[in-house]
């Protein structure tokens, strides 16, 4: 069976003293073994909430999954006890955050921190085997093993992210959740880190969910793309479907128009007018209606269907049989 992760109609809310924030709304996504899928969208679209929901790391007390399903290797994760999730996190599913210092302890050597992951998930390996594995992963991420006795502050931002990648991959996870892993880095280092993730992905055959606001990064790295807006997947397809000549969701079109085209002489990009809607208001119709140049009365009142052509889905009335 090729299916690794199936998320079905997931609804997540943040409940604070004075409001409910609807962070994910009927969010559905399938990930196959070894697949690299990009989750693209603006800040606040719900991408990080999705990753935290999968790992059951939503902020305690305020973050709540209200309905839906997260099936991992055929098992419903929402029914599993915390002890099961402890065995999954960092072992079968690893996460890389945008800021490497979220994952690194400033007062421990980087080698010890990688070793800790091994101690936790592979307690039966001998000391020699563990040390060998640590040296090997350092070599794979391009850091001389001699440097494992050093502390995080002795490394540059790009090197720190390499160490975090080493920690995430030493357990050879089946699924890697990478949340804006290159955003904090400069462009050249970004390219190096993406290249490294590509190589390691090939080596370990992990599936990757790459969370980013950058469609260019997705085109470079991913097999498939899910475009996220207002806590929903508004378009999903293979990279060639999204960037090809066929139809796109009006929001995706806007995102594609924002990618700088180095071959064109045009100096202005066309950002999408307006802002994302208030997530405290439950949307009746289409979540993009307030910003969409094609919006009709129907769009404001009736939720659009996901319209598929082969595996390429677009959540929009424009492409439905009944039309707009």
Binding residues (CB under 6 A) for ligand SF4: these are 250, 286, 288-289, 292, 294-295, 299, 304, 316-318, 324
Q: Please give the Cα distance from 158 to 117 (Å, whole number).
A: 21
DSSP 218-260: HHHH-SEEEEEETTEEEEEEEHHHHHSSS---HHHHHHHHTS-
Q: Which is nearer to ligand SF4, 21 or 283 (CB)?
A: 283
Smallest gap from Cβ 318 to ligand SF4, in A, equals 5
Q: Which is nearer to ligand SF4, 256 or 318 (CB)?
A: 318
Torsion of CA 279, 282, 283, 287, to 10 degrees: 30
Smallest gap from Cβ 296 to ligand SF4, in A, equals 6
Measured in whole angstroms, the distance separating CA 194 from the mean position of its chain's CA atoms is 14
Counting Cα atoms < 13 Å in the Cβ hemisphere of 20 gives 11
C-beta atoms surrounding 189 within 10 Å: 17
Q: Which is nearer to ligand SF4, 33 or 300 (CB)?
A: 300
Q: Which is nearer to ligand SF4, 12 or 286 (CB)?
A: 286
Smallest gap from Cβ 250 to ligand SF4, in A, equals 4
Smallest gap from Cβ 247 to ligand SF4, in A, equals 11
Q: Which is nearer to ligand SF4, 111 or 304 (CB)?
A: 304
Smallest gap from Cβ 28 to ligand SF4, in A, equals 17
Q: DSSP assignment, residue 174?
A: S
Q: Please give the Cα distance from 124 to 129 (Å, whole number).
A: 10
């Amino acid at each position: 069976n090729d299916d690794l992760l199936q998320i079905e109609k997931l609804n997540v809310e943040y409940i604070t003293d004075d409001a409910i924030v609807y962070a994910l709304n009927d969010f559905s996504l399938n990930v196959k073994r070894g697949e690299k899928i990009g989750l693209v969208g603006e800040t606040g679209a719900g991408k990080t909430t999705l990753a935290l929901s999968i790992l059951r790391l939503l902020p305690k007390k305020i973050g709540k999954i209200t309905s839906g399903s997260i099936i991992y290797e055929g098992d419903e994760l929402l029914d599993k006890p915390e002890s099961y999730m402890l065995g999954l996190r960092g072992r079968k599913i690893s996460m890389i955050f945008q800021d490497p210092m979220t994952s690194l302890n400033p007062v421990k050597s980087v080698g010890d921190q990688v070793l800790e992951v091994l101690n936790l998930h592979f307690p039966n390996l001998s000391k020699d085997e563990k040390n060998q594995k640590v040296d090997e992963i350092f070599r794979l991420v391009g850091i001389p093993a001699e440097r494992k006795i050093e502390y995080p502050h002795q490394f540059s931002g790009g090197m720190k992210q390499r160490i975090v990648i080493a920690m995430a991959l030493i357990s050879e996870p089946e699924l890697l959740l990478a949340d804006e892993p290159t955003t904090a880095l400069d462009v050249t280092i970004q390219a190096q880190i993406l290249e490294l993730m590509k190589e390691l992905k090939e080596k370990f055959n992990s599936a990757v969910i790459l969370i980013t606001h950058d469609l260019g990064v997705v085109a470079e790295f991913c097999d498939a793309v899910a475009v996220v807006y207002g806590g929903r997947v508004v378009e999903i397809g293979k990279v060639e479907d999204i960037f090809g000549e066929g139809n796109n969701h009006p929001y995706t079109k806007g995102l594609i128009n924002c990618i700088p085209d180095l071959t064109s002489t045009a100096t202005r990009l066309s950002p999408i007018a307006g802002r994302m809607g208030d997530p405290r208001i439950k949307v009746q119709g289409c979540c993009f209606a307030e910003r969409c140049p094609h919006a009709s009365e129907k769009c404001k009142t009736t939720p659009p269907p996901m319209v598929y052509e082969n595996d390429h889905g677009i959540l929009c009335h424009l492409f439905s049989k009944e039309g707009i």
